[in-house]
Structure 1
Amino acid sequence: LERWGLGWEELSAVNPRLVLARVTGFGQFGPYAHRPGFGTLAEAMSGFAAVTGEPDGPPTLPPFGLADSIAALATAYAVMTALSGRERTGRGQVVDLAIIEPILTVLGPQPLWYDQLGYVQPRTGNRSRNNAPRNTYRTSDGHWVAVSTSAQSVAERVMRLVGRPELIEEPWFAAGTTRAEHADELDEAVGHWIARRTREEAVSAFEKAEAAIAPVQDVRDVLEDPQYRALDTVTEVDDPELGPLRMQNVLFRLSETPGSIRWAGRPHGADTEEILTELGLSPSRIAALRAEGAL
């Protein structure tokens, strides 16, 4: 923007209520501000990759834009905060968001742990340092399921279901952190029971026992999943170029002002002139910018 004379100062002078979001890899200042940055670098720098993967394996990056996606949600929240502030002050402002920051925030209290206890979270694969059993287990028909026992009552139900109720009486079973110290024994009990059943049998039995389980699904399973269908999580949208297509729906449901998807994606530049006009640029200025190759 600044290269073509559309810096914040010029725009805010024309429209002082303007809210401008600036999302870059490292933010607008600091020693890395000039560097090119992508979500992959944020996943590495934030500590995410360091705690992801098997204990004896390499740090693992996600196979999709995780940091970018988290940054997008954080940016939407930041813009709404700025708009709310504008209602009180009558003035807009610049939102400066670095992609390296939101993913660090959602990683939890790791900075606090290190600051106060000198603790560095290690890679634990699918296991947790806070509870056990917690892992993925293979079923007899070659599928995988995930089990979590974050609640003590659920952990006890799982042990009764898999035929190992005696483990509940062990002193270490009374807390998630001490159960995690016996993850090998608990994984063997749960894994052996699940390995002798199909995915459908295992999920059904866990559901009846009110224990927490979920199938490990790929996108094909997601599109057929009855819960996602009931929520309309993946909805159908009519696109003028592609016709009906399926895509993720609005992220949440509001009872009084529900959201909806108006289009799958506008053609490139479809709204440029309208937006620049709203910002206060004259038709001649817009025409000049087009002639200069800025638009």
Structure 2
Amino acid sequence: MAGQTPQGSTQATAGLLAGVRVVELGSMYAAPTAGRMLRDFGADVVKIEDPTAGDFARQWQPAHNGLAIGFSRLNSGKRSVGIDMRQTEGREVARELIRSADVVIENFRPGRMEAWGMGWSDLSAEQPRLVMTRVSGFGQTGPYSARPGFGTVAETASGYAFLNGWPDTPPTAPPFGFADSIAGISAAFGTAMALFRRELSGHGSEVDVALYEPLMFILGDAVLNYTASGEIMQRHGNASGAASPRGIYEAADGGWLSIAASNQSIALRLFDAMGRPDLKDDERYATNTARMANNESMQQIVIDWVKSYPRDKALAILDEHEVVAAAVNDAKDVTEDPHFSERTLVDLAHTVLGPALMPGPILHVNDYDGPTYDGVPAIGEHTRQVLLDELGIAADKVADLAARGVVSGG
């Protein structure tokens, strides 16, 4: 059942980041992804938004009943405080909130926080234990640091789009926030390391994440290969330039599945599964080097075999022989799969979306059952709670700031 405690978990404890307060000065995708990663493991994440328009991701499509799907997934469980950062008084309020925090996440273009007197040198001078995590298109340093950047730019600049697709098709960007997500997860990783070191050293750190850099790391073989051999890796479609056979194949009933014979033992098991043990001794297919040299004919053998069975039957045979394979799932398949229902999918409750499921935390810890996802914050929904009750700002001052549009009136 969705939201079920993972098997093997013991008595629940507080999240690993319980007691950590994060101020998220982030919008769109990457920085809010970092905020969600930290929130998923117990941090209190207070999201600063424009008091009128909010995070622009609230306007993204798809949406259901007026609520943006992407914004909902990344921001459930956070608290929203509406502050106009363009106004001096707004920045003063934000600064007061940061004084209560362990971490601040921001994704303004480099130099903006410094212009506001809220750069790393400003904040760390007053709060030496603060961790400041900064997400930008090209990082805080380097010739391109002042350039704006979104995920699409990171996906092209990193080299990913050049390698993605088929040899006879143009370079292809993914239809979702790929670079943003990887950068956000990397930012959370850097934040957690900085918090750990803070406990040892007593001082915080500035964590600098460029959108393209984590993705370029993943693509690092292409760079290393070029500098070592002079060869520019090319697009291979669903095949691999490293091992064969590997790919996505259509079954007799029109369903699709993947097979990854990425090491020798899996390839030999695949030959047995296909009823072709003779391929083990065929010099064209006996080794990975030989299979790569004869990849076209190797692939055709696999294509023909998969096409002779309905998908579920082919997968059952592959599973029996311990071949690495899986169905190509759409969202409906994912939500109906018992493994994902037990381990991965969680309820997003109490929203206009109605009963809805989404992926939960990206990993499991044995003594932490994970968070609940109860609602999506409205713009500035928690402004009064945070400013009055937690920061102790006088009610008349908050009312005055709200009347002048400096903070939300909610």
TM-score (norm 2): 0.65
Listed as ranges, the gaps of 5+ residues in structure 2 are: 1-84, 86-112
String of CA shifts for 1:13-58, please: whole Å, max 9, x gaps: 4433222221111112322222221000100011111111111211
1:113 has 2:230 as partner: no
Matched position secondary structure for 1:55: coil
Give the distance between the partners of 1:29 and 1:294, measured in 2 at CA: 32
Which residue identity lines up with residue 198 of structure 1 in the other structure?
P
Matched position secondary structure for 2:209: strand
**Please, which of 47, 50, 62 is the counterpart of residue 162 of structure 2?**
50
Matched position secondary structure for 1:122: coil
Matched position secondary structure for 2:285: helix
Q: Larger deviation: 240-249 or 175-184?
A: 240-249
Give the CA RMSD over aligned residues.
2.8
In the other structure, the counterpart of 1:76 is 188
Aligned length: 294
Give the distance between the partners of 2:180 and 2:208, measured in 1 at CA: 15
**Please, which of 367, 375, 394 is the counterpart of residue 256 of structure 1?**
367
Instruction: Give identity over the alignment, percent.
Output: 37
Question: Where does 1:226-237 land on structure 2 (aligned, <5 Å)?
Answer: 226-231=338-343, 233-237=344-348
Answer yes or no: is the 8 Å Cα contact 1:17–1:92 preserved in 2.
Answer: yes
String of CA shifts for 1:172-220, please: whole Å, max 9, x gaps: 4343233122111111111111112111111111111222221111111
Listed as ranges, the gaps of 5+ residues in structure 1 are: none
- CA 1:236 to 1:78, structure 2 compared with 1: closer, same or farther past 3 Å? same
1:199 has 2:316 as partner: no
Cα distance, 1:165 vs structure 2: 2.4
In the other structure, the counterpart of 1:166 is 278
In the other structure, the counterpart of 1:32 is 144
**Please, which of 99, 102, 106 is the counterpart of residue 211 of structure 2?**
99
Give the distance between the partners of 1:285 and 1:30, measured in 2 at CA: 42
Cα distance, 1:65 vs structure 2: 0.6
Cα distance, 1:262 vs structure 2: 4.3
Give the distance between the partners of 1:285 and 1:88, measured in 2 at CA: 39
Cα distance, 1:67 vs structure 2: 0.1
In the other structure, the counterpart of 2:287 is 175
Answer yes or no: is the 8 Å Cα contact 2:248–2:256 preserved in 1.
Answer: yes
**Please, which of 144, 147, 154 is the counterpart of residue 256 of structure 2?**
144
Which structure has more relative contact order (CA 8 Å, sep 6+)? It is: 2
Matched position secondary structure for 2:374: coil
Cα distance, 1:85 vs structure 2: 2.0
Matched position secondary structure for 1:125: coil
Give the distance between the partners of 1:113 and 1:254, measured in 2 at CA: 37
Give the distance between the partners of 2:208 and 2:359, measured in 1 at CA: 27
Cα distance, 1:242 vs structure 2: 4.6
Give the distance between the partners of 1:120 and 1:131, measured in 2 at CA: 18
TM-score (norm 1): 0.88
